[in-house]
């Protein structure tokens, strides 16, 4: 390998053969990392991704006039992402999304908890039981070792079950709620204490109208994510950042303080590597022990068009009922207008819950919405999409394993960050941007050689 580096150093090398920094992954974390590194003075930055497209797990799928996607849909006009890429703002579609949920009583109601439908509608006796259960949990269920115990402490076991929140946590995270790590619950599920505590619910009961958001909500362009992230990539390219997409990576080796990335017989030498790809994939590339306990969700998206009475007005519906494998549906046509005279929407399903079968997922969704009086009319499956490594599974102990893996990678010399690279739940592009900035802030810039 010393000879490979010597040949590259002696030759009139291109940026793709010799660079200051390699950024692995071209999702939001990777793009922001490249922007931060450029601001720090790095002159030769190469962004590499095994995906053929920019945007990471933000992927769209089109058929005729329909454009669906898998990944985050909603952004904000005050997001720090726009400080890096201000030219994205006019590409977004301004929206006013409304969130709701299908509860176990077959009602489309407020998200995440409805005082009226989840408590008062239960009747005086059940209301008394719910209140007693919540009071008991606050006094005697203070020990919180997992997400179920965290939620139970705040709202009580009775409301946890009646509201369907326990079923939804299992559906969303891919494992039973009593197996979800407490650290994730404390860091990323504070909305339970903020929105579902008795004090918060009574406060909402007194208010006549919800407070409006302090920012403008935005959706990706109607054409899909490519139009959005392609623009960000063009901005970075103008600042000297190079991109290598659809790259089949073989291995990463280290000699002294330099890294050599091998792909299809070609060697790329860099002084620094910043990674936003899944930790086990990076460990395998570096020939380090692979953390088998770091599991990820495989997500299946079903794409439907519809003509008829859908049974609700809101744009985003979460499945809090006890049945049905699907976890969320998004009415794209409410944001972008109908296509061919039809509404169209996407449905997300944890693939392992239905054996990664599109046919099973479709049959399960059709049966479930029919049983709940939704989508009465012509419901047509237009397509589907499978996404591996959609987001981490936060099983008890996974955060400690991830921290150890990131520490070992740092000892090897690689900075690993982001939803995938840090095994860190990041629900929005805002959070991904902030955490990428924080991870790289204060890191020494690499001067051009």
For residue 94, the 8-state DSSP code is E
Residue 211 has what pLDDT? 58
- Whether 71 has a pLDDT exceeding 90, the answer reads no
- Whether 14 has a pLDDT exceeding 60, the answer reads no
Average pLDDT, stretch 399-409? 94
Return phi, psi of residue 190, to 5°. Answer: -65, -20
In this predicted structure, which of 32-46, 96-110, 255-269, 405-419 has the lowest mean pLDDT? 255-269
Average pLDDT, stretch 382-398? 92
For the chain, the structural domain boundaries read 1-58+223-294+395-441, 113-206
The pLDDT tens digits for 171-228 are 988 899 999 998 878 777 777 777 655 566 566 556 555 555 578 999 999 999 999 9
Residue 449 has what pLDDT? 37
**Is there a contact between 351 and 300 (Cβ–Cβ < 8 Å)?**
yes
Q: What is the DSSP string of 285-310?
A: HTTPPP-TT--B--EEEEEEEEEEE-
For residue 391, the 8-state DSSP code is S
Residue 12 has what pLDDT? 45
Show the tokens assigned to 416: 């690993």
CATH topology classification for 1-58+223-294+395-441: FAD/NAD(P)-binding domain (3.50.50)
Is the peptide bond prior to 164 cis by the omega test (within 30 degrees of 0)? no
Residue 189 has what pLDDT? 73
The whole-angstrom distance between residue 226's C-alpha and the CA centroid of its chain comes to: 17
More confident residue, 156 or 183: 156
Q: Nearest Cα to 440, choosing from 274, 302, 325, 322?
A: 274
In percent, how much of the chain has pLDDT > 70?
90
Its pTM stands at 0.90
């Amino acid at each position: 390998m010393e000879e490979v580096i010597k040949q590259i150093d002696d030759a009139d090398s291109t940026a793709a053969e010799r660079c200051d920094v390699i950024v692995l992954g071209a999702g939001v974390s990777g793009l922001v990392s490249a922007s931060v590194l450029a601001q720090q003075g790095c002159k030769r930055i190469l962004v590499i991704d095994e995906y053929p497209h920019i945007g990471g797990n933000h992927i769209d799928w089109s058929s005729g006039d329909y454009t669906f996607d898998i990944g985050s849909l909603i952004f904000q006009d005050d997001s720090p992402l726009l400080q890096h890429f201000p030219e994205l703002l006019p590409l977004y579609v301004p929206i006013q999304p409304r969130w709701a949920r299908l509860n176990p009583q077959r009602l489309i109601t407020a998200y995440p908890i409805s005082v009226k439908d989840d408590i008062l509608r239960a009747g005086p006796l059940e209301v008394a039981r719910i209140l007693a259960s919540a009071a008991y949990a606050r006094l005697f269920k203070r020990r919180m070792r997992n997400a179920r115990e965290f939620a139970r402490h705040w709202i009580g076991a009775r409301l946890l079950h009646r509201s369907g929140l326990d079923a939804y946590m299992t559906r969303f995270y891919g494992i039973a709620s009593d197996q979800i790590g407490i650290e994730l619950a404390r860091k990323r599920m504070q909305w339970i204490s903020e929105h579902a505590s008795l004090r918060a619910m009574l406060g909402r009961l007194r208010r006549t109208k919800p407070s409006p958001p302090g920012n403008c909500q935005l959706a990706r362009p109607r054409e899909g994510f490519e139009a959005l992230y392609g623009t960000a990539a063009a901005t970075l390219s103008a600042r000297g950042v190079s991109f290598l997409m659809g790259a089949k990576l073989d291995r990463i080796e280290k000699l002294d303080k330099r890294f050599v990335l091998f792909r299809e017989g070609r060697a790329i030498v860099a002084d620094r590597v910043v990674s936003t790809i899944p930790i086990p994939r990076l460990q395998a590339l570096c020939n380090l022990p692979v953390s088998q306990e770091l599991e990820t969700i495989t997500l299946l998206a079903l794409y439907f068009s519809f003509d008829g009475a859908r049974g609700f007005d809101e744009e985003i519906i979460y499945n809090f009922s006890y049945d049905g494998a699907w976890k969320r549906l998004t009415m794209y046509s409410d944001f972008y207008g109908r296509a061919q005279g039809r509404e169209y929407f996407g449905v997300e399903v944890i693939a392992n819950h239905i054996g990664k079968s599109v046919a099973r997922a479709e049959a399960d969704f059709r049966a479930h919405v029919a049983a709940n009086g939704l989508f009465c009319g012509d419901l047509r499956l237009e397509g589907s999409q499978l996404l591996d490594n959609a987001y981490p599974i936060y099983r008890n102990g996974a955060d400690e394993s991830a921290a150890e893996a990131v520490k070992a990678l740092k000892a090897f010399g690689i900075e690993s960050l982001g939803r995938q690279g840090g095994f860190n739940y990041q629900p929005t592009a805002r959070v991904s941007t902030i955490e990428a900035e924080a991870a790289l802030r204060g890191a020494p810039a690499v001067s051009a050689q």
